Amino acid sequence: MERITEELRGMGFEGEIKEDILMRDYTSLRIGGICRLMVEPFDPYSLKLLVELLNSEGQSMVVIGGGTNLLVSDEGVDEVVVRLRNWRKVEIVETYRDEVVVFAESGIPLQTLLNFCAEKGFSGLEGLVGIPGTLGGAVSGNAGAFGYEIMDRVDRITIMDKDRMEVIKRDTLTPGYRNGAVKGIVLAVHLRLYRDDTESIKNRMREFLEIKKGTQPLNEHSAGCVFKNPEGDYAGRLIEEAGLKGFRIGDIEISRKHANFFINLGRGTSRDFIGLMRKVQEEVDRRFSIMLEPEIKMIGQGINAH
Ligand SMILES: Cc1cc2nc3c(=O)[nH]c(=O)nc-3n(C[C@H](O)[C@H](O)[C@H](O)COP(=O)(O)OP(=O)(O)OC[C@H]3O[C@@H](n4cnc5c(N)ncnc54)[C@H](O)[C@@H]3O)c2cc1C
């Protein structure tokens, strides 16, 4: 890793390079061991230099956004972790009578983008209110709620695949439930939105947020929904029916407010989190013959082997 740092510094790379940081400081769950190298390129050229260098060194990498859908191993991460947190530009690029196209860079916090759109009177993203993390993370996982999904509003996506930048039209992709179906690193997104008045948009956002606050533990350390909803049902309902609300392993507890959220009470570990996932999968399978599939993304050493 030291060689990568030195080479980057010597080749005109602009960005932040952090060594031996704790991943728990970069995730909403507050879990995760040491990452030997985290790199935050400031511009596409620096990202390209980084990707080329890592490819030539045979060093793998993983991109993260706000870390709000992530479980990171207690044993740390071997990959170089890349963040685009400084990529936050947002601008209106096409305007029509009823529609607009907004360009936004992938590191922008999703809620900053929603507020920008509400102020300008651009509708289409209201259901995503209260979802933490970045636009890049939202597109990668096709984040959604209240019948809204981000990919429904995407017109095209600028990505870096290997070391090539490409613009992918939305209609060439087949996104699904919590799957944006995008390959490579999401650099920026063009969103197609409708004109509406700011007050109506804000009212819808307030209503959705009230419901979200009433049903989800928004102020606790979680990674959102742990499992995907199975076809025609809700993972939270199944976990609750299995009698597991409030069940705890170590410092990881199944939320009493919403059973598909696992809360880190303070000293939670990825080992306990995975243990709790297994317990839930076994109980739900035993009772309802349904195998729940993880929605959260897992990274780091041995994370699937606990
Ligand atoms: C309290 C709470 C409530 C939540 N509510 C919802 C909800 O209602 N609906 C919902 O869908 N989700 C919800 N989530 C989950 C999470 O916030 C979303 O999935 C969010 O979109 C993840 O964005 P992120 O930037 O944090 O991504 P991260 O967690 O950092 O990463 C998630 C995945 O995206 C990939 N990724 C991130 N950035 C990029 C990029 N630029 N290019 C390519 N891949 C990238 C990562 O590699 C990883 O695989 C909630 C989470 C919390 C904590």
Report which ligand 1 atom has the smallest distance to the Cα of 136: 41
- Would you put residue 236 in left (φ > 0), alpha (ψ -120 to 50) or beta? alpha
In a domain, 225, yes or no: no
Domains held by the chain: number: 3
Cβ contact 134:112 at 8 Å? no
SS (H, E, C) 5-21: HHHHHHCCCCEEEEEEE
Residue 258 main-chain phi, psi, to 5 deg:
-150, 110
Could you tell me the residue range of the domain that residue 112 belongs to? 90-215
**Cβ 184 vs Cβ 77: under 8 Å:** no
Neighbours of 31 (CB within 10 A): 27
- On whether both 130 and 206 belong to a single domain, the answer is yes
User: 241 — phi, psi (to 5°)?
Assistant: -60, -30
- Give the pLDDT mean for 297-302: 94
pLDDT tens digits, 68-91: 999 999 999 999 999 999 999 999
> What separation in Å is there between the alpha carbon of 212 and the centre of ligand 1?
16
User: Is the CB–ligand 1 distance for residue 157 below 6 Å?
Assistant: no
CATH number of 282's domain: 3.90.78.10
The answer, as to whether pTM is greater than 0.95, is yes
- Look up residue 85 and give its two tokens: 């947190």
Amino acid at 223: A
pLDDT of residue 111: 98
- State how far the Cα of 13 lies from the Cα of 177, in Å rounded to an integer: 37
Residue 148, Cβ neighbours under 10 Å: how many? 18
- Residue 174, domain member (yes or no): yes
- 141 ligand 1 Cβ < 6 A: yes
Based on the fold, state whether residues 98 and 34 are members of the same structural domain. Answer: no
* pLDDT exceeds 80 at position 262: yes
For residue 101, name the pLDDT band (cuts at 50, 70, 90): very high
Q: Is 109 in the pocket of ligand 1 (CB under 6 A)?
A: no
User: What dihedral angle (degrees, nearest 10) is formed by the CA atoms of 221, 223, 225, 226?
Assistant: -110
Is the per-residue pLDDT at 300 higher than 80?
yes
Give the pLDDT confidence score for residue 9 in this predicted structure: 87
Q: Identify the H or E element spanning 160.
A: strand 154-161
Quick one: 210 and 246 in the same domain?
no
Domain identity same for 210 and 239: no
Amino acid in position 84: L
| Residue 142 within a domain | yes
Residue with CA at minimum distance from ligand 1 atom 33: 137
Q: Is the CB of 70 under 6 A from ligand 1?
A: yes
- Ligand 1, atom nearest to 297 Cα: 49
Supply 289's token pair: 């013959």
Please work out whether the CB of residue 63 comes within 6 Å of at least one atom of ligand 1.
yes
Q: Which residues of 120-133 are buried (b: 16+ CB within 10 A; e: fewer)?
A: bbbbbbbbbbbbbb
Q: Give the model's pLDDT for residue 1.
A: 80
SS3 199: helix
- Residue 28 CB less than 6 A away from ligand 1: yes
Regarding the beta carbon of 180 and ligand 1, being less than 6 Å apart is answered no
